[in-house]
Amino acid sequence: MQHQSIYIAPVQPRSGSLLVSIGIMEMLKGHYEKVAFFRPIIADGCKEDESVTFMIEHFGLKIDYDACIGFKESRYIEAFAQNQQEALLEALIGKVSALHEQYDFVLIEGYPRDAFSHLFDFDINLAIAKNLGTAYIPVLNAHGKTPEQILQELHITDELVRQEGCYHLVSFVNRCNPDEITVLKEKLKTTDQGLNAFFIPEHPQLDRPTLSEIKTHLNAKLLIGEQPHLQRIVYGYKIAAMGAENYLSHINNHDLVIVPGDRSEILMLSLLSYYGKHHPNIAGIVLSGGIPPHNAIVKLMEDFEESTVPMMLVEADSYQTALQLEKIPPRITIGSTQKITLAKALFDEAVDKEKLRTLFRKQPKEILTPTMFLYRLVEKARSNTQRIILPESDDERILRAAEIITHRNIADISLLGNKETILHRCKSLGIDLGNVQITDPNNTTMQAKFAERFYNMRKHKGLTLNAAKDAMTHLSYFATMMVYEGMADGMVSGATHTTADTVRPALQIIKTMPGVDLVSSVFFMCLDTRVLVYGDCAINLDPSAEELAQIAISSADTAQQFGIEPKVAMLSYSTGNSGHGPDVEKVRKATLLAQQMRPDLLIEGPLQYDAAIDEEVAKKKLPGSKVAGHATVFIFPDLNTGNNTYKAVQRATGALAIGPVLQGLRLPVNDLSRGCSVNDIVNTVAITAIQAQQKAQS
C-alpha cells in the first residue's frame, strides 16, 4: 500500500486519539482529493460508532457508514477464541483494499488497547496494522505522568512497534502538562534513536462535557433553550442546597446548577446572575426530583430573546444526579463547535506539519479540491499572521468567526465597538474571543486625528473638515483609516453593510496600487477537482478594453498569489477570429493590450467558455493554444455576464464560490455578502491575511 494509509492507535485509556484523527484528517483533506475513514473495531451495543459518524459528517466524507467499519468487539474475541483470527484479518484486509481502490488515502483509527488487555497478551491494533501494511501512529496519554515516565513509555512503544514489523510513522503524546513540553522535547533530542514524537498540551475544555452530552447522559427533558445553547461547556457542578443569600457566592462561571424546580428564589437569582455584568455566568440548570418550575418562572426566562439559561428536568434527586454527572466521559461530538475548534488549534500548534508530510511519503496529485484549497488558505494565513479588522462587531456571525480565527491562529483580529458591551455579549453567547483587540470607534482623539488626515487627503476634491469628521463616525471609514495608519494589515466588512460602504472608503483613503487604475474583483470557484478564478463578477459594470486588460492582469496576479497557475481566457461569444461585433472587438483589443503589458503571462482571447474550459472543444476551435482547454482564469466582458455565469455555475454544479475578493488596492480590503455564513467570514479573513502578507513582502 506504500503508506497510503495511516493507523492511529490509542495505546492507553483516554489518550484522545480522536483529536489526533481530526488533525490528521484535516491535513489529508488538504492534500488528497478522496480520503476514507475506517475503524476496524467498534464497540458492541452501539447503533453507530460515534467516531465514524463524526468524521463522516464533520469532514463531509463521501463514503457510506458501513464501508467505514470492520467488526464488533465480540467478533474479535470469538475469532481469537476459536483460532479464526487469520480469517478475520483477511476480511479486514479485503475491506481496506476495497477502500484503496476508491480513495487516495485511508485514515484508520484503532480501538482502545485497554479494552482487550485482559484477554490478549499482545496489542491487537499492532496486529491489525501489520497485516494491513499501514504506517502506525501510537497515541499516549501523558496526564499525571512525569517527563521521565512519558519518555520511557515512548521508547517502549517504539520498540514494540518495530518488533512487530510495523512502520512507526510518529508518536503523539496527548494531554501533556503545558509547562513540561519544552523539557520533553529537549530530553527527546538527547536520545539518538530516530524517534519522532509530537506533544499536545492538555486543555480543561476538552476534559469537560457540554450541556448536550449531559442532557443525553441524564436522559433529561429540555425545558428552556435550543440546540446552540447546549454546546456550552460545563466546568463544574453545584448543588444549590444553601439559602438564597449564600447561593451567589458559591457559584462560578460555566457551572451547572443542580436544584429542585420548586426553589424559585434560586432560579430567579440564577437568571439575574446570568444577565448581570459582574456576576457568575452559569452554563445551565438541572432541575432534580422531577419537579418542574412554576409557569411564571418559565415565562419570565423565555422573555429574554438574545440568549437564555438552558434548563432541563430529571427524575433523580440532586445527589443521584450529581453522582451521574461525575461519570460522564468527555467527548468531541459533531455539535461541539468550540471543542472541535480547540482540538484543531491544539493540533496546529503542536505539530510540525511539514515534517509529518515528509513522513507520509506521498506527494499530492495535481488536483485541487475545495477542501484542499481552503486548507491551504488557512495554512498560508497561519504561516505569518496578520492583523485584520472586522468593524461589524454587532453581528453574531462576526463574533463567532473571530473566535474561530483567533483560536486557530489564522489572523490577529481587531474589532470595533465598546469593549464591555462586546465582551458581555460574547459571555452570554458562550464565545471566547481570547486576545482579540477591541477599539472603541467613539474615541474622540482617534476620530479627530483620522478626520484631520482624511480632510488633508480630500480637501482638493472639495471635502470640508466637518464632512471629514462626519465620515469618521461611520465604522467603515474609521476601520479603513486604521488600515491606512498601519494599525491593521487589512479589513473585512460587508456582513451588515453594502459593497459600496466597503469599497468607497477604500478608494478614497487607501487608493489603488501604482500602475493600476481601477479596483476589480474575482471569485474563487471551487469545483470538484480544481479551482478556477472568475473576474470581474462584482464591481465593474461595463469595463472598457483598457479596463478589461487591467482586470485580466490583476486576476492573473491574484491567481498566482493563491497558488493557481494563471492561464487567462478573455471570454466572449466568439473564439479566435470566427466572429465580429463591438463586444468581440472590445475583448480582442483587451487581449492584445494585456499581452503587451504582461508578456510573461499566458493570455488568450477572445474565447468562448466551452473552448476555454474543455480540452476537446479547444482542439477543434483553437488548436495549438496553450490556454484554450486549460484556462484557470476566466475574464468576463461585463458584470452582467460574469455575475450570472458564476451564480449559474455555483447553483448547477454545487461549486463553492469564495468572494468577491477585491484586487488593485494598495492595502487589502475585502467585502462580504450580507447573507454570509461564519465560514465565509473565516475564509475571507484568511484571504485578506494572505494578501496582507504579499503586500508586506513587496
Do the two domains 5-202 and 383-509 of this chain adopt the same fold? yes
The residue-averaged pLDDT of 197-218 equals 88
Query: What stretch of H or E contains 42?
Result: strand 35-42
Which amino acid belongs to residue 441?
P
607 and 575 in contact (C-beta within 8 Å)? Answer: yes
What pLDDT does 192 receive? 56
Query: What stretch of H or E contains 463?
Result: none
d(CA 78, CA 85): 9
Other Cβ atoms within 10 Å of 91 Cβ, number: 14
Q: What percent of the chain has pLDDT over 70?
A: 96
Predicted confidence band of residue 362 (pLDDT cuts 50, 70, 90): very low
List, in sequence order, every residue forming a beta bridge with 9; answer none if it has no partner: 138
164 and 127 in contact (C-beta within 8 Å)? Answer: yes
Residue that wins the pLDDT comparison between 97 and 492: 492
Predicted confidence band of residue 274 (pLDDT cuts 50, 70, 90): confident
Predicted confidence band of residue 248 (pLDDT cuts 50, 70, 90): confident
d(CA 389, CA 490): 6
Question: What's the chain's average pLDDT?
Answer: 88
Predicted confidence band of residue 363 (pLDDT cuts 50, 70, 90): very low
d(CA 389, CA 485): 13
Of 25-34, 158-167, 272-281, where does mean pLDDT reach its minimum?
272-281
Fold of 207-325: 3.40.1390
d(CA 316, CA 218): 9
Q: Measured between alpha carbons, how far is residue 528 from residues 31, 33, 370, 371, 623 in Å?
A: 14, 8, 7, 9, 26
d(CA 260, CA 148): 48
- In sign, the C-alpha dihedral spanning 465, 466, 469, 475 is negative
Residue 418 has pLDDT above 90, yes or no: yes
Residue that wins the pLDDT comparison between 188 and 371: 188
Q: What percent of the chain has pLDDT over 90?
A: 49
What pLDDT does 662 receive? 94
CA-wise closest residue to 636 among 599, 590, 668: 590
The residue-averaged pLDDT of 640-663 equals 92
What pLDDT does 171 receive? 93
Q: Measured between alpha carbons, how far is residue 132 from residues 37, 82, 301, 415, 496 in Å?
A: 14, 22, 56, 51, 53
Residue 121 has pLDDT above 70, yes or no: no
626 and 545 in contact (C-beta within 8 Å)? Answer: no
Predicted confidence band of residue 345 (pLDDT cuts 50, 70, 90): very high
Residue 509 has pLDDT above 50, yes or no: yes
688 and 491 in contact (C-beta within 8 Å)? Answer: yes
222 and 302 in contact (C-beta within 8 Å)? Answer: no
The residue-averaged pLDDT of 33-50 equals 88
d(CA 196, CA 198): 7
521-562 pLDDT per residue, tens: 999 999 877 899 999 999 999 999 999 999 999 999 999 999
Domain boundary assignment for the chain:
5-202, 207-325, 383-509, 520-664
83-93 pLDDT per residue, tens: 877 778 888 88
CATH class given for the domain over 5-202? alpha beta
Predicted confidence band of residue 421 (pLDDT cuts 50, 70, 90): very high
Q: Are strands 35-42 and 105-109 parallel, antiparallel or unpaired?
A: parallel
* Location of C-alpha cell 490528521: 24
Dihedral angle, C-alpha 24, 28, 29, 30, nearest 10 °: 100
CA-wise closest residue to 371 among 5, 4, 28: 28
Predicted confidence band of residue 64 (pLDDT cuts 50, 70, 90): very high
367: exposed, middle or buried (Cβ count in 10 Å: 0-12, 13-18, 19+): middle
Fold of 383-509: Rossmann fold (3.40.50)
DSSP string of 292-324, one letter each residue: PPPHHHHHHHHT-SS----EEE-SS-HHHHHHH
Residue 45 has pLDDT above 70, yes or no: yes
Question: What value, to the nearest 5°, has the Cα angle with vertex 402 and ends 399 and 408?
Answer: 145
What pLDDT does 238 receive? 85
The grid cell for 333 is 461530538
CA-wise closest residue to 604 among 592, 596, 615: 592
Give pTM, 2 decimals. Answer: 0.76
Residue 143 has pLDDT above 60, yes or no: yes
Fold of 520-664: Rossmann fold (3.40.50)
Predicted confidence band of residue 129 (pLDDT cuts 50, 70, 90): confident
160-185 pLDDT per residue, tens: 888 877 788 899 999 999 999 998 88
Q: Measured between alpha carbons, how far is residue 537 from residues 76, 226, 556, 647, 655 in Å?
A: 58, 39, 15, 10, 16
